Amino acid sequence: MRPTPGMDPTRLDPYVVFAIEKLAARPFALIALDFDGCLAPLVDDPAAARPLPEAAAALEDISQFDDVDLAIVSGRPAADLIHLASPPPGTWIVGSHGAETGRVTTEGELVSEEVTLTPEAAALLEEVAAELATIASAHPGAWVEHKPAAAVLHTRQAEPVVGAAARAAALAGPAARDGVHPMEGNEVVEIAVVPATKGEALTALRGAVEARRGEPVTVLYAGDDVTDETALATLEFSDVGIKVGHAPTVARFWVTDPPAMAAALRLYIHQRRRRGRTVG
Percent of the chain with pLDDT over 70: 95
Q: What is the DSSP string of the chain?
A: -PPPTTS-TT---HHHHHHHHHHHTSSSEEEEE-SBTTTB---SSGGG----HHHHHHHHHHTT-TTEEEEEE-SS-HHHHHHHH-PPTT-EEEEGGGTEEEEE-TTS-EEEPPP---HHHHHHHHHHHHHHHHHHHTSTT-EEEEETTEEEEE-TTS-HHHHHHHHHHHHHTGGGSTT-EEEEETTEEEEESS---HHHHHHHHHHHHHHHHTS--EEEEEE-SGGGHHHHTT--TTSEEEEESSS--S-SEEESSHHHHHHHHHHHHHHHHHTT----
Predicted TM-score (pTM) of this structure = 0.87
Instruction: Specify the CATH superfamily of domain 119-192.
Output: Trehalose-6-phosphate phosphatase related protein; domain 2 (3.30.70.1020)
- For residue 4, the model assigns a pLDDT of 52
Q: What's the average model confidence in pLDDT over 135-151?
A: 96
Q: Torsions phi, psi of 53, nearest 5?
A: -55, -40
Question: What are 73-120's pLDDT values in tens digits?
Answer: 999 999 999 999 999 999 999 999 999 999 999 998 999 877 889 999
Q: How far apart are CA 227 and CA 198, in angstroms?
A: 7
Question: What are 266-280's pLDDT values in tens digits?
Answer: 999 999 998 775 444
- Domain spans in the chain, listed from the N-terminal domain onward: 14-115+196-274, 119-192
- For residue 2, the model assigns a pLDDT of 57
Residue 3 reports pLDDT greater than 80: no
The top-level CATH class assigned to 14-115+196-274 is: alpha beta
Question: What are 199-219's pLDDT values in tens digits?
Answer: 999 999 999 999 999 999 999
Contact 77, 100 (CB under 8 A): yes
- For residue 10, the model assigns a pLDDT of 56
Q: How far apart are CA 231 and CA 73, in angstroms?
A: 9
Contact 240, 219 (CB under 8 A): yes
Percent of the chain with pLDDT over 90: 87
Mean pLDDT of the chain: 93
